Amino acid sequence: MPSKKTVGAEKAADSIMECLEVGAEYRKELAEARGQTVAPPLLMAAFGAASPEDFLMETVKRIRSSDLEEALILLPFKSACDVVKMLPSLLDRGDNTELLCRLAIFLLKVHHASLVANDGLLKYMIQIQAKASMRLNELRDTVGDNMAALGWLGRAAEAAEREQLFAEAGVRHKQRRRRQPAKRPIVTVT
């Protein structure tokens, strides 16, 4: 686990917490609006996010990989619970599965005892496990298909290259025959 607190990690943790706060305020505004359209907060609009989940995803994607784990360590437990509650809906979308799984696994490592003891989060943890497993299996299948296709293309390219090599060798051989005068036996009459 990372042990050094860096400025980048502190900024990343602050941006995640700010994201969660803005998302909670936006949800509260939506609940109070009762069906009327509510414009997203400026910060969410700046990130191009239409929902708090999109905003969290954009925020996490902008954090450097080296700072992400440290930022998750610096998150308070309440913020970690909010992230865990958002993860199932983010995994439903099917994009950035690797990043979301990394986020879930690291949060579980850091806050394992507290997360397991909290009965309210058990439902979310089960959903995360099922959805992450499904999405990762889909990714494995896609990678397997791509590897098989690349192997087939490689074999096809090698076969075409061999055919081209033999065709070129045949053309060279014919050109040599044309250049060389025909060998005629020397007949001596005695």
- For 88-139, what is each residue's pLDDT tens digit? 999 998 888 999 999 999 999 998 888 888 888 989 999 999 999 999 999 9
69, 72, 80: which is closest to 116 by C-alpha? 80
List the chain domain ranges.
Answer: 7-135
44, exposed or middle or buried, with CB in 10 Å at 0-12, 13-18, 19+? buried
Whether this prediction's pTM lies above 0.85 is answered by no
Quick one: DSSP state of residue 40?
P
pLDDT tops 80 at residue 186: no
What distance in Å separates the CA atoms of residue 34 and residue 86, rounded to the nearest whole number? 22
Q: CB-based contacts of 9: which residues, under 8 Å, 6+ apart?
A: 2, 67, 70, 71, 73, 74
> Average pLDDT, stretch 10-26?
93
Torsions phi, psi for 48 (to 5 deg): 75, 30
- For 139-158, what is each residue's pLDDT tens digit? 999 999 999 998 898 888 88
